[in-house]
Amino acid sequence: MVGCITDNPRLFLSRVDDSYRAGVDYVLGPWCFIGREEKFPTWEHISFQDAFENAVSKSIACDECSRLAASIIKILAVDLNQRHQRDYSFEYWWTLLIRPVLTTTQFLWRRWVTINSFIKKTHNEPLIVVVDPRTLDSEWKFKDTASLIYNGLQNEAFNYFILSLIIKALAPNTWTIVSTKNKLANISELPIPAVPFSTNFVKKYIKQKVGRLPLSDVPGIGGVSTLFFSCFINVLASKNREPERGLALKNFSQNYFPKEFLSLTSQACFSFLPRSFDSDFKINENKAKRYRYKAGRLYVSGAAHIIDENNYKVAHALIRGERVVRCQHGSDYGTMEFAHPESLYEYNNSAFLSWGWREHGKFPGNFIPAASPMLSKVYKRHRKKSRSIILVGTRTWVETPRIDQIPEPSYGIRYRQLKIKFVSSLNSTNKKHLVYRPYLRGKTDLQDEDYFQKYFPNTPILRSDLNTEIMRCSLLVLDHPGTTLNVAMAAEVPLICFWDRAAWVLTATARPYFEALEKANILFEKPEDAAEWINTVSNNLDDWWASNEVKEARKNWTMQFGLAKKTWWFDWLQILSKI
């Protein structure tokens, strides 16, 4: 129904404005209070329903979205071959399109399920919903995949547009739909944040001058070592490449997605197709063609797959017969249950070099344990030089575009509260030595540092280099299973962790190693228990950390998920020669 705003309750799809009436109006999710937490301080007491309430429903959604994305890429591959008068394989287009298509599919399904669940609870309410009137026919041409994700799928205005589209398709007759009278925010080509990846001058210079080497962008391998390994790969015997793994996904279940959603998603993937695959395709293609390829040679890469230039290199390496080997470059690999994006982007090539593990749940792949060059740089480097206890936080992401290992939006609220419970449970001595490291690698949806300091204004904030500080601290505390956990384990930093198991779902293959950490009192479910253990052992911390049970649990975990060696390069020479 289309009408005008009355005194009826209003449903806010995006950020609330000053007209929001607590206790009267509705909000679709916690993202509605991004940037408005100070104005509406009681908002955390609202009960939010997540799109996926349990691991089973989330697992099914991940599987089905993966299959739907594969079917859309098949259609796009035919269309783009005709459009550009090419005859490239499905494998070629998969390499280029899986990141934007899968992310778009997951983005849309998460929002569709969220709205549909909300409608089931409130369909009899006479709600007013103010929507963005634009359609998919509008001009939505993003420059490249990075722009689609950062300027589109992670953009508040774009999120409001998509939610409006779905509301207009699903709203019951009891609701009144009103087009906004506010000026619509443009979805402009803003600067893309740099990928959080450090490199040195030599490495940058080589990349600029050479453009492409048989080994590149591997975290921890510097410029000189990159040249050395590239020369070594060049003298290895060429071998035939096996077919890519994981590309033959079975069709999505016909009864899972509504027909309206399938139509929306198919149209959206065409409408949002970046220019890098459309009008700028030949530019990118010609640039990739200029590089030298050699059939049967290895191409070892840890390059970010959000960058289209990297994916064009891989796609052309594949069609020229090179054997692509991907490398682990962070956490989640080998441990998290819903790592479908990693699986579809990186596990389907000739091999994947892991930080120790040989299995990642149900995901197929040729997984080869290889000591991490990055972790090997900090191997057993911890030397206690201060009494500081460093608590490290992570991003509170409540407007996530994907369906993956990131916890559901409502957990962002609970996540902050768990942190407060932890610090509140520390004794006065340990509180005195505590410093807090907020998330500093990008934007965070909910307040982090400000929220923490409302409760603990006297706790220092750590802004200097994290790795340097944890190598000299007394104790590191983690409230999430991120890459800092892998780094700390490799460096043998005394460590206590706590997080909600239901929020961070582990694979069956990884679970025993984390359970061993629990038995050794390294990992806790409740923050109060973690704090109490610190209070108990803080006077004998070194003895506890060096105890046999703790050492055994650490050793076994590190061999699986934080493999590091001083002679990592020797292992790599052997591994690369055998692939």
Q: Given this model, what pLDDT does residue 242 score?
A: 79
Position with higher pLDDT, 289 vs 192 = 289
> CA-to-CA distance for 393 and 109, rounded, in angstroms?
29
Residues sharing a CB contact under 8 Å with residue 294, sequence separation 6 or more, in sequence order: 234, 238, 320, 321, 322
pLDDT tens readout for residues 205-235: 666 656 699 999 999 999 999 999 999 999 9
* Of residues 245 and 312, more confidently modeled: 312
Under 8 Å between Cβ of 422 and 527: yes
Going by pLDDT thresholds of 50, 70 and 90, the confidence category of residue 442 is confident
Confidence of residue 198 (pLDDT cuts 50, 70, 90): low
pLDDT, greater one: 78 or 199 = 78
The mean pLDDT value of the chain amounts to 93
**pLDDT at residue 497 above 60?**
yes
Helix (H) or strand (E) holding 104: helix 90-122
Supply the pLDDT for residue 131: 96
**Is residue 203 very low, low, confident or very high in pLDDT (cuts 50, 70, 90)?**
low
Q: Report the pLDDT value the prediction gives residue 151, as an integer from 0 to 100.
A: 92
For the residues 512-533, what does the mean pLDDT come to? 98
Mean pLDDT, residues 242-260: 79
With bands split at pLDDT 50, 70 and 90, how would you rate the model's confidence at 202? low
Q: Assess whether pLDDT exceeds 90 at residue 525.
A: yes
Stated pTM of the model = 0.94
Question: Can you tell me the mean pLDDT for 419-444?
Answer: 96
pLDDT band with cut points at 50, 70 and 90 for residue 3: very low
Q: Pull the structure tokens for residue 176.
A: 């009144």
pLDDT for 274-328, tens place per residue?
A: 999 999 999 999 999 999 999 999 999 999 999 999 999 999 999 999 999 999 9
Q: pLDDT (tens digit, 9 = 90+) per residue, 30-42?
A: 999 999 999 999 9
Please give the full DSSP string across 314-348, using - where no structure is assigned.
Answer: HHHHHHTT-EEEEE--SSSTTTBTT-HHHHHHHTT
CA 206/CA 279 separation, integer angstroms? 30
Task: List Cα–Cα distances, 561 to 100, 291, 333, 357, 361, in angstroms.
Answer: 28, 35, 8, 6, 14
User: In this model, does residue 562 exceed pLDDT 80?
Assistant: yes
Q: Indicate whether 1 pLDDT > 60.
A: no
| Predicted local distance difference test score (pLDDT) of residue 207 | 62
The model's confidence at residue 182, banded by pLDDT at 50, 70 and 90, is confident
Task: Write out pLDDT tens, residues 25-77.
Answer: 999 999 999 999 999 999 999 999 999 999 999 999 999 999 999 999 999 99
pLDDT number for residue 94? 96
DSSP alpha helices (H): ranges in 389-448? 411-425, 428-433
From residue 241, give the alpha-carbon distance in Å to each of 183, 294, 322, 363, 423: 54, 12, 7, 20, 53
Q: How far apart are CA 446 and CA 36, in angstroms?
A: 9
**Cβ neighbours, 10 Å, residue 42:** 8
Mean pLDDT of 122-126: 95
Return the pLDDT at 186: 66
Q: Is the pLDDT of residue 195 over 80?
A: no
Gap between the Cα atoms of 274 and 281, Å rounded: 10
Task: Band the pLDDT of 254: cuts 50, 70, 90.
Answer: confident
Per-residue pLDDT for 386 more than 50? yes
